[in-house]
Amino acid sequence: MGLEGKLEFEVEIQSSAEEFYNIWRNHMYHLPNASSDAIQSVQLHEGEWHSEDAVKLWNYTLDGKALTAKEKVEVDDANKALTFNIIGGDLLQEFKTFKVTVKTTAKSNGCGSLVQWTLEYEKLHEGIADPNAYIDLEVKLTKDTDAHLINNA
Predicted TM-score (pTM) of the model is: 0.94
Question: Residue 11 in contact with residue 140, Cβ under 8 Å?
Answer: no
SS3 92: helix
Domains of the chain with CATH codes: 4-151 (3.30.530.20)
Q: What is the pLDDT of residues 11-25, one digit of tens each?
A: 999 999 999 999 999
CA–CA gap between residue 126 and residue 92 (Å, rounded): 15
CA–CA gap between residue 15 and residue 108 (Å, rounded): 14
Listed residue (121, 125, 123, 85) closest to 102, CA to CA: 85
Q: What is the pLDDT of residues 24-59, one digit of tens each?
A: 999 999 999 999 999 999 999 998 888 888 999 999
Listed residue (80, 66, 105, 87) closest to 24, CA to CA: 80
Question: Residue 38 in contact with residue 65, Cβ under 8 Å?
Answer: no
